[in-house]
Amino acid sequence: MKKILALVLTLAMVLSLAACGAGAAPAESAAEAAGSAAASAAEEAAAPAADGAKTVGIAMPTKSLERWNRDGDYLKAQFEAAGYAVELKYSDNDTDQQNNDIQAMIADKVDLLIIAAIDGDSLSQTLADAKSAGIPVIAYDRLIMNTDAVSYYVSFDNYTVGVLQGEFVKNALDLDNAAGPFNIEFTAGDPADNNAGYFFNGAYDTLKPYIDEGKLVIPSGKTTFEQVATPSWSTDTALENMQNTLASYYSDGTVLDVALCSNDSTALGVAQAITSDYAGDNTPIVTGQDGDIANLRNIVDGIQTMTVYKNVSDEAGVTLDVAKAILEGKTPDGSLQLSAEAAYDTSSYDNGTGIIPSFLLVPWTVTKDDLQKLVDTGLYQWDSENKYLESVG
Ligand code: BGC
């Protein structure tokens, strides 16, 4: 059974990779095709959803960023293999559409909802309806704000993601010993995504002592999250913003040492701007997060320096653990047996209605020197020339 499922996952990833080429975001239809190939094959393999099987509704934000395609595929395959029926919807980064998609799943009487919100603040009314219908909600990866309908939050330790980026910079520049000063620019994420502030703060707080003492300088003067946020985590917007920063503050030969980017989709745009518009001879440090295939290529090519890797297959697995317990009438807590390492946290995430009990997985740093760590997860493999990584499943 496991073998068949592994084959199915491999097939789905091979299809979606073939569709999207080297690292570009998969085209909507190709990714859908891969998803449904996985779905129908997984149904055959796992023979789930016998009459009376419980149904889980999964709402993902968009297919345009690599990671959510992975999340959706992993969640669907893992829940189906565990005997659940799955309704999976992507909402094209459109909050109205996501509200409608979730309403449709409530109308379909799903037994539990798993939601990665597009805008954490826009789902209150819809989730009030879910609550009235007695449907428990797990906030997936991104916390959903201002609703008392969220039972649990499953994510990574988001603040630590930023800390890992900051620490990488601190070590790479040897900030405790080097004289400096070094120049740095920040690029943060989507203000509608509750995670984005955590990532930025984790990185900024780690580097703040060096900024305060003048060893790290921000020539653009853009020091706040609001000034460097990137709506929708858009690669194009990040590219444009970095081009503007380079034109305004670096065209006189000022050296850029670090471009601290909160994630891989923004790092892709920033690295492109540096490649095309930065005149200096040095190679600035560029950080990221996720381990998207295009960014792993850039890491091999020296265009991006590191990424903070989050194993979203494990995130799907922990979500299944929590969902299963809820659907069996249990109350998940720190004693729950988990399929991957995650901390049970009852203090960090207040969504405006109180603390949401959270299961937080562990992110880690990946550089060119330790890409093999990703191969060791079983989710990536070297390409035929042993140069770049590609997805396994
Ligand atoms: C996720 C990141 C991702 C970003 C853009 C965040 O909520 O935690 O992993 O890079 O959204 O999709």
Q: What pLDDT was estimated at residue 52?
A: 77
Best probe residue, ligand 1, of 195, 199, 315 (max atoms within 8 Å of C-beta): 195
CA–centroid distance, residue 311 to ligand 1 (Å)? 12
CA–centroid distance, residue 274 to ligand 1 (Å)? 22
Q: Partners of 350 in the beta sheet?
A: 355
Residues of the chain with pLDDT under 50: 1-49
Superfamily of domain 159-289: Response regulator (3.40.50.2300)
Query: What is the CATH architecture of 2-156+310-362+378-391?
Result: 3-Layer(aba) Sandwich (3.40)
Q: What pLDDT was estimated at residue 5?
A: 42
Q: What pLDDT was estimated at residue 51?
A: 62
Name the residue at shortest CA distance from atom 10 of ligand 1.
263
Contact residues of ligand 1, CB 6 A cut-off: 65, 67, 141-142, 189, 193, 195, 233, 263, 265, 289-290, 310
Question: In this structure, what token pair is assigned to residue 327?
Answer: 């659907």
By CB neighbour count within 10 A (0-12 exposed, 13-18 middle, 19+ buried), where does 310 fall? Answer: buried
Q: Answer whether 2-156+310-362+378-391 and 159-289 agree in fold.
A: yes
Q: What pLDDT was estimated at residue 329?
A: 97
pTM for this entry = 0.88
CA–centroid distance, residue 157 to ligand 1 (Å)? 12
How are beta strands 306-309 and 364-367 bridged, if at all? antiparallel
Where in the chain are the domains? 2-156+310-362+378-391, 159-289
Q: What pLDDT was estimated at residue 254?
A: 98
Q: pLDDT tens digits, residue range 190-232?
A: 999 999 999 999 999 999 999 999 999 999 999 999 999 999 9
Cα→Cα distances 187→162, 190, 231, 308, 339, Å: 12, 10, 11, 15, 34
